[in-house]
Structures are given as C-alpha cells and as structure tokens.
C-alpha cells in the first residue's frame, strides 16, 4: 500500500513542479531585461489613413517628412492639422510604464542613432493573444480570441512584453511606431 501512495504522490507532484518551473522561468526571465535608456514611440489615429509621417533621427534629433498622400504635397514644417493625429509616449524601462508626451517634448530629446540601445536592447513588434496559453486570449476567452499587437523589449537572451498605453491596447488609436532610444 505504501508503494501505491508514493507513486500517486509522485505522479501528482511532477506536473505541479513542472508548471511551477515554467511559470517561474517566464516571470524571472523578464526581470533580466533592464535597459539603461528609455524610448519614445508614437501612434497615429486610424481615422486619418491619408497622412503619412516618416520620422527619422538626424544628429540625435527627431525630424519628420510629412506628406498628405491625396495631394502629394510636401509639408516641410509639418505644421498641418494632420500632425495633431500623432500621439507620443515615453516608455520608462524602469517602471514598465508609458507616459503621454507632446510632440515638442519628443523633439527636445536627444536620441541614439539606430534601433538598438547603447546596451544592446531592441524593440520588436509581436502579434499574440496576450494570454498565458496559445488557445486563450487575455480576456480568458478560449479559441478564436482576438490577436493583439504588442511590442517586445528584446535583450541578448531574454525578452519581455512592453506595457503600452491603454489607448494603444484599447484600439482607440493605431499601432505604435518606435521613434528612438533617449540619451
């Protein structure tokens, strides 16, 4: 009888231990992703698809090449009302939170050149359900849940999901566009 109880105990504890190890590895791996720099991203209003704002970093400063596609015009100063459809956010890597900022604040920052931070981190797009399991979405719905556009903060080995602004995740405005790493 003692052998039967031991085998039952082992057969029940192995899956529990395995699940605990998997969950710990998920949560602990994200704690190793700690870039030294914050970054800026913007989102464009989905109601204004005619406007395209191509951003670039020139000598560490944010610049725009703005075109209204219907008219084919070039707006050097980007002072058009379409620029108001852009909403900027500063992502704080220490607190894992996004804060809304103005376009003037975004232009005032000095940025690193390129898409990689000074300590080797990148921001990468990812589509996922947001749930713990592939068949469950973040609302707890099974099979057929909606996919969410997410950004991942990727290091050399580990990555973690970025907490975007509620406006972005709530589909009130468009997809996030990475601007650059702030010096």
Q: What is the pLDDT of residues 73-115, one digit of tens each?
A: 544 455 556 666 778 899 998 888 889 998 889 999 999 988 8
88 and 11 both lie in a single domain? no
In the predicted model, is pLDDT for residue 182 greater than 70? yes
Same domain, 76 and 161: yes
Q: Are 43 and 107 found together in one domain?
A: yes
Based on the structure, what is the number of domains in the chain? 2
In the sheet that holds 159-161, the strands lie side by side as: 122-128, 148-154, 159-161
Q: What is the mean pLDDT of residues 35-40?
A: 88
- Domain match, 98 and 60 both: yes
Q: Same domain, yes or no, for 39 and 17?
A: no
Residue with tokens 């068949």: 135
**pLDDT over 80 at 138, yes or no:** no
Looking at the fold, whether 88 and 70 belong to one and the same domain comes out as yes
Same domain, 144 and 107: yes
Domain that holds residue 13: 1-31
Average pLDDT for 39-46: 79
**pLDDT score at 170:** 47
Question: What share of the chain in percent tops pLDDT 90?
Answer: 8
Comparing 140 with 118, the larger pLDDT belongs to 118
What token pair was written down for 144? 């057929």
φ, ψ of residue 39 in degrees (nearest 5): -140, 165
Note whether 24 and 40 are same-domain residues.
Answer: no
Task: State how far the Cα of 161 lies from the Cα of 171, in Å rounded to an integer.
Answer: 17
Q: Are residues 19 and 103 in the same domain?
A: no
Residue-level pLDDT at 76: 46
Output b/e per residue, 163-179; b: 16+ Cβ within 10 A. Answer: bbbeebbeeebbebbbb
């Amino acid at each position: 009888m003692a052998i039967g109880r031991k085998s039952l105990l082992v057969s029940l504890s192995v899956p529990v231990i395995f699940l605990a190890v998997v969950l710990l590895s998920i949560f602990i791996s994200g704690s190793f992703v700690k870039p030294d720099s914050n970054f800026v991203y913007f989102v464009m209003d989905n109601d204004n698809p005619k406007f395209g704002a191509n951003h670039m970093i020139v000598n560490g400063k944010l610049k725009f090449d703005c075109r209204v596609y219907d008219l084919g015009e070039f707006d050097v100063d980007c002072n058009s009302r379409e620029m108001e459809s852009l909403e900027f956010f500063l992502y704080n890597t220490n607190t894992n939170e996004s804060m809304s900022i103005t376009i003037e604040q975004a232009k005032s920052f000095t940025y690193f050149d390129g898409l990689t931070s000074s300590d080797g981190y990148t921001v990468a797009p990812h589509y996922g359900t947001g749930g713990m399991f592939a068949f469950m979405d973040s609302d707890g719905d099974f099979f057929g849940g909606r996919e969410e556009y997410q950004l991942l903060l990727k290091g050399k080995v580990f990555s973690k999901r970025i907490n975007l602004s509620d406006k972005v995740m709530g589909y009130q405005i468009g997809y996030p566009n990475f601007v650059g790493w702030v010096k």
